[in-house]
Chain A
Amino acid sequence: MRTIGFLIQKEFLQIFRNRSMLPIIFAVPVVQLIIIVHAATFEMKSIRLFVVDHDRSVLTREVCDKFRGSGFFRITGYSDLDRDGEQGMKQREADAIVVFPADFEKQVSMGRDARFQLIVNAINGSAGGLIHAYTQSVVQDMNHNLRKESGLISMETRPQQIDLTYTFWYNPELNYQTFMVPGILVILVTVISLLLSGMNIVKEKEIGTIEQVNVSPIRKYQFIAGKLIPTLLIALFELAFGLGVGKLLFDIPLEGNLLLVFFAAAVYSCVILGLGLLVSTMTGTQQQAMFVSFFFMIVFILMSGLFTAAENMPDWAQWLNHLNPVAYFIRIIRMVLLKGSGFTDIRPDLFALALLAVLSITLAVRRYRKTV
């Protein structure tokens, strides 16, 4: 234990003596939270709509107003020529085109079904789907009004209708930031843990100081513990700092027990640190370590369910996700912070993380060789 104490002291001295470290520790969380949380959103608030109106009637104008009034759309072009619409889409001035046929109003006034067309730029499939859904709701709204105006809502002709009432739990305003902030905190802990640990041993290899350590009777677990504990403390500090910033800037809910969050974070951080140290022992230069770390980080994060719903991934990917520490921790932190889940609710995920932690640290200790 004494030896580990000396090593921890040395690591802290080195970390805080490094001039670039303090800005990284304090600036990274703030910048990440502010930029990513605001930028990475699925909500579409100003879909650019190009209207091709062959009818130029009162009714088409009314539909356009409905689009505008919905708050999701902005009409960026209006024409009665199809090719103007196409042009608008090609020149990236429009995300979608609606086309009203010439007899649109006439059909409606004669009490027949009328159609108009929606053309969506669906390069981003989910954005395309959203545009479609928003349009649908605008049209539904229109239909409702039409029925009322034409007095179709009489007892005999009124079609049977099933109405849905709903409540959104845990995030009643469907606030995207509430959903994103905990995820970004996970990224924060991941980046700090992985980079600090991944670069660490390999850096000592590069500058040659590891020789002096390897020639000493130091035990392997002591060496790894000396590397792991300081970084773990810094990662937890980062989380606390990030939570504070998240609370101040975004007023994210902190429903559950914060101690539980930190406990889970510590276990999680151990997985990542073990992994980073493993990478560090297996590579010869900081550059190699950086590439390998980034590879893991990107795969883990993209598969984790931070940006997409992990439940929608194919089975094999979900199976792979059992090995993905980021996925467990994102689930845990969202459950505890947003739902107020307790220990029993997150026990399976926490247990899996603990298992991964033991695995990665054991591998790191075993892979670290005092001889070459």
Chain B
Amino acid sequence: MTAPAEAVITVKDLVKKFGSFTANDHLSFEVYRGEIFGFLGANGAGKTTAIRILCGLSVPTSGYIRVAGFDAFTEAEKIKKHIGYMSQRFSLYEDLTVFENIRLFGGIYGISRKAIRERAEELLETLQMQAVRDTLIGRLPLGWRQKLAFSVAVFHRPGIVFLDEPTGGVDPITRKQFWEMIHASAADGITVFVTTHYMDEAEYCDRISIMAEGRIIALDTPAALKKQYHASSINEVFTRIARNA
């Protein structure tokens, strides 16, 4: 981070309550253009809640939240034009083919039919999935589906893409390939906001934040965190922090 960093996500004192339960307790952080921001934490730490708020799928209780230059309270629909989202739950249509899914979501984001066709061919070539272009997504193996879900999420070339545990249940080789795709997108200038509970994946991020019980308890580059906690891996950092928390 040598160039003056431009924040594309700014969060100050984000609070989300469900009744008396506080899922997000005064979160504050910034995400800069083009970086891969890892959002770490155990299950139930509040990662998904936060990511859903940033995507405009959930309304925050209070706080100051700007995503891609728009306010999360009043301009959620504008935010949606500039982001991509890949849900924790697989959410492409299993009864549509690979191409039909791409066409649908491309169309929803206002891309012309011609451009969709062209970009889709390009994409399938990169993914080496031309052979399954007209196969129902439901018939594909999980790893392929996840790659497709990611590709659909960035198909309209958003400024920011949110990935909610994109590699859950995926084999190590596919996970590695998946992260290569994430890096390629980041190289194209797409800011990546990714949640995970695989600590080894955190090493691939530019910066990470670690959440526990609705709060952010650490936020820095992987290297700095390892140094600060005298740990050799993020996994170790995480266990140390968790013990203290």
A interface vs B, CB < 8 Å? 2-3, 5-7, 9-10, 13-14, 17-18, 207-218, 370-372
Contact = CB atoms under 8 A, between A and B. Distances in A.
Contacts, number: 80
Nearest to B89: A208
Contacts of A7: 104, 107-108
A217 B59 CA distance: 16
Minimum-distance CB pairs A-B, first 10: A6-B107, A208-B89, A215-B85, A212-B91, A217-B81, A217-B80, A211-B87, A208-B91, A211-B91, A216-B108
B107 A214 contact: no
A276 to B, nearest CB: 20
Contacts of A214: 57
Interface string B46-87: 000000000111110000000000000000111011010101
Nearest to A10: B104
Interface stretch (B21-29, B95-103, B139-147, B229-237): B95-103
B44 interface: no
Contacts of B85: 211-212, 215
B105 A216 contact: yes
B204 interface: no
A2 B108 CA distance: 8
A217 B109 contact: yes
Interface string B205-228: 000000000000000000000000
B228 to A, nearest CB: 35
For B55, B76, B93, B152, the residue with the greatest tally of chain A CB atoms inside 10 Å of its CB is: B93
Contacts of B108: 3, 6-7, 213, 216-218
B79 to A, nearest CB: 9
A17 B94 CA distance: 11
B57 A6 contact: no
18 contacts: A2-B110, A3-B110, A6-B108, A10-B93, A10-B96, A10-B100, A208-B91, A209-B91, A209-B92, A209-B93, A211-B57, A212-B85, A212-B92, A214-B57, A215-B56, A215-B57, A371-B57, A371-B58
A371 B100 contact: no
A186 B93 CA distance: 33
A372 B110 CA distance: 25
Given A211-B57, A215-B83, A372-B57, A5 B107 contact: yes
A14 B87 contact: no
Contact of A217 (B58, B77, B107): B77
A6 B104 contact: yes
A221 B179 CA distance: 37
Contacts of A215: 55-57, 80, 83, 85, 87
